[in-house]
Amino acid sequence: MTCLASTENSGRRYLPAYFSPEAESPNQQLLPLSARGNDQDHLEVGGCDVPDLVERFGSPLYIVDELTLRTACRQYLSAWKRFYPGPAQVLFASKAWSCLALCALVAREGLGVDVVSGGELYTALAAGVDPGRIYLHGNNKSRLELEQGIESGVTIVVDNWLELETLASLGRQVTIFLRLTPGIECHTHQYIRTGHLDSKFGFDLQQLSEVCQFIRQHSHLYCRGLHAHIGSQIFELQPHQDLGEVMVQALVATREAGLPVEALNLGGGLGISYTETDDPPSIGAWVEQVAQGVIEACGRRGIPLPELLCEPGRSLVGPAGITAYRVGSRKEVPGVRTYLSVDGGMSDNPRPITYQSTYRALMANCLSAPLTQVVTVAGKHCESGDVLIAQAQLPPAVAGDILVVAGTGAYNYSMASNYNRICRPAAVLVYAGDASLILRRETYLDLVRQDLLPPHLAF
């Protein structure tokens, strides 16, 4: 694996381009906090040589930096202590990456876990997460999932009338939050806006009185809090302060309707840096704005501060993850573009084709090589739109080089598929020179494990 360009200069001189000296938190950096160039001009993460990891575990390979993830967890917890005088709880929105290792890691750091399906709930419980710190979301939970939530002792975030009526009909004691649609829009992709009025999620604020009346008629439904979430990959702070005003107003209305609500969950949504042009607020700045919105709203009404919860996902695990690929074929279309293909693509990272998401890439085995070419990094799937990066600035590369895409810790593994019957990658957690396998690479046997061949079709 040798880039065509010279590798005489140390990678240490190259990596600063990926780090902002003004950054206050991991979500503002392009690479994991432990990333560095070593004496071989290779990328290291968590003290592990990335090309060596590919040799050991294969490619594509998800790599998660434990230091970055733990740092983000601790920054959220410390920021709440600094900016909010009332009780606060941080939950990991596990839809960003649900697996045993990551659920266990964030729980060790003192976080709860937000789950959105029976499968995510099962994973969190299997990882040893305290059920009292698990919150079950979803806009169309099945009766089985609701029963699973009750039996497990988790809090259920009720999204709609059908769920509320189903829980009432079960006749079992359950703690719930009500999800509300606050009517706040943010400048983000239309598919990841969840707080505006035209959304599939939550009760309309105009329904609140009727919902409260229904809950009061069913004593086994204990409504402990209200929930709202305004979107994902958000760089604006003002909408989160506005959310505090809306939710405190809803808190007052709920109490006046006879429900002793004591907590507000204001969701997550803080963005991360995928490219140098992204400029997200720090974790501390986000928490401060959310806290200030609630403090001011409560102050205007002369009421005590409620318990606050938040649910970061992307800003916790996104910056901690990278994906390593092997470079394969190259195709030059004169006067148009050059395609550089890798051994993965839309099956391990569907975000570019789904959300038109942009990423930054680098060559892990020749960090200091001059960036002399602009190429289109293409995947190997039988799909014209399988493009990971439309315009990647890279050194000249040959088959076998190791290309790394940064910022792939959130919604890459969790949205991965077997399109074209391609096996999903392995994942490793790296820290202090050790690499722990946290997800095995799928095999062809895994691909056909659930297949059935009717007798009349057997050879």
CATH code, domain carrying 234: 3.20.20.10
Residues 117 and 242 occupy one common structural domain? yes
Of residues 73, 103, 382, 423, which has the active-site annotation?
382
Question: Taking Cα atoms as reference points, which of 224, 247, 210, 213 lies closest to residue 176?
Answer: 224
85, pLDDT greater than 50: yes
> For residues 144 and 146, what is the distance between their CA atoms, to the nearest angstrom?
5
**Domain presence at residue 201:** yes
**Number of H-type helices and E-type strands within the chain:** 12, 21
226, pLDDT greater than 90: yes
29, pLDDT greater than 80: yes
**Domain presence at residue 258:** yes
Residues 199 and 99 occupy one common structural domain? yes
- Within a 10 A sphere around the Cβ of 151, how many other Cβ atoms? 10
- The residue out of 284, 302, 317 marking a domain boundary is 317
With bands split at pLDDT 50, 70 and 90, how would you rate the model's confidence at 9?
very low
**Domain presence at residue 405:** yes
Question: Taking Cα atoms as reference points, which of 351, 346, 398, 343 lies closest to residue 373?
Answer: 398
**Domain presence at residue 4:** no
Residues 358 and 256 occupy one common structural domain? no
Report long-range pairs for 5-10 (Cβ below 8 Å, ≥24 apart).
Answer: 5/366, 5/369, 5/370, 5/372, 5/395, 5/396, 6/369, 6/370, 7/41, 7/366, 7/367, 7/368, 7/369, 8/368, 9/41, 9/368, 10/37, 10/39, 10/41, 10/368
- The confidence score (pLDDT) of residue 194 equals 45
- The residue out of 254, 284, 317 marking a domain boundary is 317
Looking at the chain, the whole-number percentage of residues with pLDDT higher than 90 is 87
Give how many domains the chain has, as a whole number. Answer: 2
Structural domain harbouring 176: 67-317
- The residue out of 293, 317, 341 marking a domain boundary is 317
**Domain presence at residue 16:** yes
The residue ranking higher by pLDDT, 326 or 191, is 326
Residues 368 and 330 occupy one common structural domain? yes
Residues 439 and 392 occupy one common structural domain? yes
**Domain presence at residue 309:** yes
Note whether 357 and 278 are within 8 A (CB): no
Report the pLDDT averaged over residues 309-321.
97
Average pLDDT over the chain reads: 93
Residues 300 and 334 occupy one common structural domain? no
CATH code, domain carrying 376: 2.40.37.10
Q: Which residues contact 108 (CB under 8 A, 6 or more apart)?
A: none
Residues 26 and 141 occupy one common structural domain? no
Residues 239 and 328 occupy one common structural domain? no
Residues 275 and 408 occupy one common structural domain? no
Q: Is 382 a catalytic residue?
A: yes
**Domain presence at residue 243:** yes
Residues 32 and 44 occupy one common structural domain? yes
Residues 162 and 221 occupy one common structural domain? yes
- Please write the tens of the pLDDT for every residue from 109-131: 999 999 999 999 999 999 999 99
Residues 279 and 177 occupy one common structural domain? yes
73, pLDDT greater than 80: yes
**Domain presence at residue 2:** no
